[in-house]
Amino acid sequence: MKAYRVTGTAPFGSQRQPFTYDVPAADNDAAAEHVYSILGSRHRIKRRSINFDGINEIDPRTSTEPNVLHHFRDEIAAKGGTIAPVAEEE
């Protein structure tokens, strides 16, 4: 399994908006299927309405998605922790 960052646009309400999802998947096609599943179940968006701009493999340590961090927790810990920027709370 690898971590992928999927970017694209989809209709959220009355306008098209960009989205970015980090997902663990076996390959590019599996990552696309996972994002189709997420957007279809959470937002009721049809597959033909979703446009992908890119599906790129990423280092799991750069992600802030809980699903990716959980899936690669042993690998992240072995390499010294995350390298994602941490936002400060005010």
Mean residue pLDDT of the chain comes to 90
Dihedral sign for Cα 25, 30, 36, 37, please: negative
Task: Please report the domains of the chain, with CATH numbers, ordered by start residue.
Answer: 2-78 (3.10.20.10)
Name residues whose C-beta falls within 8 Å of residue 27's C-beta, 6 or more positions apart in sequence.
Answer: 2
Q: Per residue in 12-49, pLDDT tens?
A: 889 999 999 999 999 999 999 999 999 999 999 999 99
pLDDT digits (tens, 9 = 90+) for 47-76: 999 999 999 999 998 988 999 999 999 888
